[in-house]
A = this chain, B = another copy of it.
Amino acid sequence: MTGKRPQVDIALVHHPVVNKHGETIGSAVTNLDLHDIARAARTFGVENYYVITPYTDQQAMVREICDHWQTGHGATRNPARKSALELIRISSSLDETLESISRQRLVRPLILSTSAKPQSNTLSYDAARELIASGRPLLLLFGTAHGLAPEISAMADHCLPPISGSTNYNHLSVRSAVSIIFDRLLSVST
């Protein structure tokens, strides 16, 4: 990618999200979401990976996992994992996340939500790549469970189009969706 250094962050939302009936719920943090998404973030130069959950027991669990790989036995055994997991930031809400990013970037990021279903107000992947190359700070929002609650999506400036394969099946894991979207937005030409 030519242009300025990408200033891209990601947030994985565990509350508020919706269940399969569209009801607002909070989901549990999944260990592999921490590892896989941190490794992908590290690969593609994403600088902060916010894990959003208001539940203090869940926050403590995330902290324990990160500590194991950053200062515990895992840090010496697997330095590559250390350098991925150190991108993780624990956050209680999207508001708190936005405050943190704004302090760091000195500007409110452009918020791009994601969804497995088509949404209004979409921004194409090409347009998003151009914004990134122009140096615009950008926050990518991903939901767990059955996706972001409407009040979270409403805080986004735009939504990225769903990932469509050659079928009408739209049940990718969030780990797969994040990886693909990083690649579409941040890969270098090969």
Most central of A80, A170, A175 by chain B CB within 10 Å? A175
Asked if B183 contacts A43 (CB within 8 A), the reply is no
Closest to A189 in B: B164
Surface stretch bound by B, among A32-40, A48-56, A67-75, A100-108: A32-40
**Total count of chain A residues near the partner, CB < 8 A:** 41
Q: How many copies does the complex hold?
A: 2
Indicate if the CB atoms of A163 and B175 lie closer than 8 Å. no
Any B CB within 8 A of the CB of A120: no
Question: Does A134 interact with chain B (Cβ within 8 Å)?
Answer: no
Q: Taking the nearest CB of chain B, how far is it from the CB of A134, in angstroms?
A: 15
Is A76 an interface residue when CB atoms closer than 8 A count as contact? no
| A187 touching B163, Cβ below 8 Å | yes
A44 CB contacts on chain B under 8 angstroms:
165-167
